[in-house]
Amino acid sequence: MGKGGQTAKRLLIRWGRTFDHFLEAIAVLGMVIMTATMLAVCWEVVSRYFLTRATIWVIELSEYALLYITFLGTAWLLKQDGHVEMDLLAVWLSEKTRRLMRGIISLFGALLCLVLGWFGAVVSLDHLRRGLHQPTLIGPPDFPLLAVIPLGFFLLFIQFLRRAYGCLADQKGVGAKERVLSKRS
């Protein structure tokens, strides 16, 4: 590999580490939101049943928090291989074929996230432009609630591309390793 290739590889590794740190940070933010939601629900139970004072904001904010928790944590979860996978067929395939299949599925996942993120951004910006609000007691503006959707899909798109690259780049390494092992036999 030439000097330019080494520089590009180092840059890609550095960018990947920065992206990983960003995923960790927003996953922590999702955990903080989850903890705050849990504490708010506990407060709601105590205030309703022991203080006979119900709050009107806890249920609504919990709904919004679930949206944020989902979209802030999904790319981090994919990085950890925590998403549910159907491996009924994959267990019967060779390691090389399994990596190839995982890489192709990751490319399809990236494409799907790109499309969903694009439409999420279009809807979010439309709601911002029109100044729409939720028709609820609190009535927050729609844009901050919807903006997390394209953000989450964009991060998921990047992570799917990274996973696809890792799987498909390993194809060369796996193939070479199998050839070396077969020559030794």
Contacts of 77 (CB under 8 A, 6+ apart): 27, 83
CA contacts within 13 A on the Cβ side of 17: 5
**For the chain, what is the domain count?**
1
Give the number of other CB atoms < 10 A from CB of residue 125: 14
pLDDT recorded at residue 172: 65
Neighbours of 99 (CB within 10 A): 20
Whole-number pLDDT of residue 173 = 60
Residue 175 in this model has a pLDDT that exceeds 70: no
* In the predicted structure, residue 183 carries a pLDDT above the cut 60: no
pLDDT given at position 126: 97
The residue segments making up the domain with residue 37 are 3-184
User: What integer pLDDT is reported at residue 11 of this predicted model?
Assistant: 87
Mean pLDDT of 7-25: 90
- Between residues 95 and 176, the one the model is more confident about: 95
pLDDT digits 0-9 by tens, 41-50: 999 999 988 8
Task: Give per-residue pLDDT as tens, 42-99.
Answer: 999 999 888 888 788 899 999 999 999 999 999 999 999 887 777 777 788 888 888 9
Question: What is the enclosing helix (H) or strand (E) of 159?
Answer: helix 148-184
What separation in angstroms does the CA of 130 have from each of 60, 64, 162? Answer: 22, 20, 36
pLDDT tens by residue, 126-172: 999 999 999 988 889 999 999 999 999 999 999 999 999 998 886 66
> Taking the CB of residue 23, how many other CB atoms lie within 10 A of it?
22
Predicted pLDDT of residue 178: 42
Output the six-digit token pair for 52. 């006979």
pLDDT of 57 reads: 87
